[in-house]
Structure formats: structure tokens, C-alpha cells
Amino acid sequence: MKKASIVSIGNEILSGETIDTNAAYLSSQLFSSGIPVISSYTIGDCQDSIVRRLELAADDADIVLVTGGLGPTDDDLTRQAFAKFLNVELTLRNELLEKIQQFFTSRNRQMSPKNKIQAYLPANTKAITNNLGTAPGIMFVLRSSTTTENGAEIKDKLFFALPGVPSEMKEMFERTVLPKLKTFTTEQTVIALKLKCFGAGESTIAEKLGDLMQRNRNPLINCTANYGVVTLHIIAKAKDKKTAKEMVEKDKKSLTKLLGKLIYGSGEQTLAQVVGEKLAQKKMTIAVAESCTGGLLAKLITDIPGASRYFTHGWVTYSNAAKVKELGVPADLIEKNGAVSSEVAQAMAEGARKKADADIAIGITGIAGPSTDNSQKPVGLVYIALASNDICQVERFTFSHDRNFIRPITCQTALNMIRLKL
């Protein structure tokens, strides 16, 4: 089986300024393509150190993926390090220079002279088009020979350099690198499937699955959690695609039976996507009225391209006056019960539904912290109301952790309430 190694380049990673999400993204993508990452290296903007990491990575792996260091400034040294590693010169590629110039002219901007360096690539390497930025990627195949008992074995090693900007890196990886890797690794098939769950914790789900989660099982079932979303990875290895696929499908059925409505989707689906698809299918509309989540729920809903089909109105009524004036929440209701109350959440949802003339509306009020001015109402107390044509349901939650956790978990919980309603 082919193995990969990742080299992340940038002082900003070593200084802790940037969390290396690129390595995690690539690892996950490679893992589900059946190419295990067996090591990764992080190094600063220093040419010799980069060259040394390329050597170390190539010792371990058949595929070396480098991210970062392709920018236009003097501390971007991946191009130079690749040239030194290959012992070749950097050469100007006119077609790349034209593309970079076009990038700027199409945006009515002047190209900085610094950007010219991005059109230089090591001789005998291939450029990877960057559709989102100015830095082209680099690709080459290194023929390497390993001496074994039966003589020298020739092995190709694939090298890729991708930009450090996550959006550019991902676009390039999915469009060009991944298809290339799939033709390069053929001897074993790995099929992976992710099931996405919401409504129970990791340990509860693990208990429900029991023996299915044994470490030496094939398919292997892994479990990860993020802001209440639990992802189950089913990873089947087999000699051929058909067998692996059947194994995955069989496990998918077992898990669906065990977990029921806890499973909301598969692959990379988010709750906002699933809810959006259902709303679009049913030609229903939704409006949201937020207090403590401050626009985050609207943001999550409109993260999805095409959300305008079902999302029309959102209110962030942070003050009591805004709740009264914009949503028609009765002032005495707030006075009597407090802004963080079941009654106010309900009035917000109903007001939003009426004003937006929507099929469904959400009202959220709660205490995101860091502090609370009411000892009866702790940080993390949240009311979520869902108003629809028949009924308004209100649920009370007490979430743990801090503001940065309470706000997203509240929004995910609201999306899950909509999902179950639909």
C-alpha cells in the first residue's frame, strides 16, 4: 500500500499563530482514499530545513505533500527548496506570469513586482493551476531506487507543493492531486463512509455500538465529535471495490438500525445543509430571531449556497427594545419573565414567523457568558423555540463550557430541532 507524508511550511505554524488545519484536512482526505499518512513534519521558512524535511518525508513515504511557502514574499522558500532538492534551477514560465498578471488586471489591481517570483518553477516540474489565487502549485515524479534482496527496485515517488491558504490548497487538492493519487495507488481498495449524528454524546453512541467499534475489526469504525456533531467513520479494506463497498453498506445498515434518528446525514453534510435541503424540497421558508447567538444561526443557514430559496429574514434582537420593536414581543412579558425565558423565546419565534410570513421560525434567547446577572439563570442557560403553523415548541437547555462553545452548540441544537420537525 502506498503511504504519504505531509510537510507543513511556515514560521506562523511554529510560532503557534496558525493552527495547522491543512495537515488535518489532507490527512483525513488521504485516509479516506486508502492512503495512510505515516508521518508529518512542520518546519519554518528556511530553505535548508525544508530540503531536509523533503528527504526525511521521502524516506518514509511514496507520496510527499507540501503546503505553504509559495507566496510572493522573501520568506516563501518552497520553490527554492524544491529546486535545491532536485538540484535544478528555477525557470520563468511565461504562461504562469501571464495568468498571475491576469489575476490582478481582472480585479482592477496592480500586480506587485514581488509576485513575479510565483511564475518561477524548478526545471522539469509541472505547474498546478491555482484557480483562486496567484500561487501555482508544483508537481513532480521522482524515480527512486531501493536496494532489496532481489536487486534494486525502482519506485516512483510523487511530490506536490500546494499553497498554504486553505481554500486555495483544498481546491487544488480536490481538482488535481486526488485524481492523480487515485491512479497512482491501485493495489488495495479502501472505501470509507462517514455517518453524521446529532443528539447524543460520543460515549453514549459508542455504548450503543458495542463490539462494532473493536479496533481490529474490518470495517473499522471510528468516532469523532465536534460541537455536538458525532461523526462515525466506516472504513472497509478489501481486494476489490465491490467487496469493500458491500462491507460498508452492511455496516451502514447496522448503524442506522442501532442509532435511528440520531443519524442526520452522511459524508461532509452539515445540519444546516440537511435542513436546507429538506426546506427546499418541501418548498418551505424559515426565519430566525436570535439573541445570545447574535447572528450565528443565520450565518450557518446562509453558509449554504442557494439558501435564498428558503431563508428570507433574520433578526438579531440583542437588546430588549429590539425584541419589542422588531418582533412584537410584549414588553411586560420580558419584565415579568426576564429576557431569558421560555415565554420570550416563544414570542420571538412567533413574532419572527409572522413578520417574515415564514413556515417555520426559530427564537433563541440565552446566556452565552462569560457572566450572568441573575443567580437563578446560569451561564449556558438557553431557550430555543420553534414556531410552525400548528404549534410552538420551546426547549430549555443548560450547555457547559464557555461562550465560544455555548453559541455554536445552541445553533446546532436549533438546526437539529428543525430537522426533527421536518
Q: Which of residues 390-409 bind a second copy (CB under 8 A)?
A: 398, 400-405, 407
Angle between helix 342-356 and 320-327 (nearest 10)? 40
- Which of residues 153, 156, 174, 207 is near a second copy by CB under 8 A? 207
Q: Which residues pair with 395 in a beta bridge?
A: 384
- Contact status, residue 78 vs residue 46, Cβ threshold 8 Å: no
The terminus-to-terminus CA distance of the chain in angstroms comes to 44
Rounded to the nearest whole angstrom, what is the least distance from the CB of residue 371 to a second copy in the complex? 8
Rounded to whole angstroms, the Cα distance separating 77 from 407 reads 40
Binding flag, residue 102, a second copy (CB under 8 A)? no
Q: Residue 171 or 343: which CB sits closer to a second copy? A: 171
Q: Residue 304 or 387: which CB sits closer to a second copy? A: 304
Q: Residue 140 or 352: which CB sits closer to a second copy? A: 352
Q: Residue 238 or 358: which CB sits closer to a second copy? A: 358
Q: Residue 13 or 63: which CB sits closer to a second copy? A: 13
Rounded to the nearest whole angstrom, what is the least distance from the CB of residue 166 to a second copy in the complex? 9
Q: Residue 294 or 330: which CB sits closer to a second copy? A: 294
φ, ψ for residue 114, nearest 5 deg = -55, -30
Can you tell me which residue has the cell 436549533?
A: 414
Rounded to the nearest whole angstrom, what is the least distance from the CB of residue 65 to a second copy in the complex? 12
Angle between helix 47-60 and 78-86 (nearest 10)? 60
- Which of residues 2, 9, 34, 41 is near a second copy by CB under 8 A? 41
- Which of residues 65, 301, 329, 364 is near a second copy by CB under 8 A? 301
- Which of residues 305, 332, 389, 391 is near a second copy by CB under 8 A? 305
Smallest CA-to-CA distance from 209 within 254, 156, 272 is with 254
Binding mask 317-356 for a second copy (x = CB under 8 A): xxx-xx--xx----------------------------xx
What the block records as the C-alpha cell of 176 is 488535481
Candidate segments 10-18, 150-158, 248-256, 386-394, binder of a second copy by CB under 8 A: 10-18
Angle at 265 between CA 401 and CA 263, to 5 degrees: 65
Rounded to whole angstroms, the Cα distance separating 324 from 180 reads 58
Rounded to the nearest whole angstrom, what is the least distance from the CB of residue 124 to a second copy in the complex? 28
Q: Residue 33 or 88: which CB sits closer to a second copy? A: 33
Rounded to whole angstroms, the Cα distance separating 50 from 10 reads 10
Binding flag, residue 281, a second copy (CB under 8 A)? no
Candidate segments 84-92, 179-187, 368-376, 384-392, binder of a second copy by CB under 8 A: 368-376
Bridge-based pairing of strands 126-128 and 137-148 is: antiparallel
- Written as one letter, the residue type at 356 is A
Candidate segments 66-74, 83-91, 330-338, 385-393, binder of a second copy by CB under 8 A: 66-74
Residues 209-268 that bind a second copy (CB under 8 A): 213, 215, 222-224, 226, 231, 233
Binding flag, residue 168, a second copy (CB under 8 A)? yes
Instruction: Give the CA radius of gyration of the chain.
Output: 26
Smallest CA-to-CA distance from 230 within 274, 266, 279, 254 is with 266
Binding flag, residue 203, a second copy (CB under 8 A)? yes
Residues 118-157 that bind a second copy (CB under 8 A): 132-133
φ, ψ for residue 221, nearest 5 deg = -115, 115
**Alpha-carbon separation of residue 11 from 52, 76, 82, 85, 115 (angstroms):** 16, 10, 18, 20, 20
Q: Residue 141 or 338: which CB sits closer to a second copy? A: 338
What the block records as the C-alpha cell of 255 is 448503524
Rounded to whole angstroms, the Cα distance separating 56 from 60 reads 7
Rounded to the nearest whole angstrom, what is the least distance from the CB of residue 422 to a second copy in the complex? 19
- Which of residues 34, 69, 314, 363 is near a second copy by CB under 8 A? 314
Binding flag, residue 316, a second copy (CB under 8 A)? yes
- Contact status, residue 70 vs residue 7, Cβ threshold 8 Å: no
Binding flag, residue 88, a second copy (CB under 8 A)? no
Binding flag, residue 204, a second copy (CB under 8 A)? yes
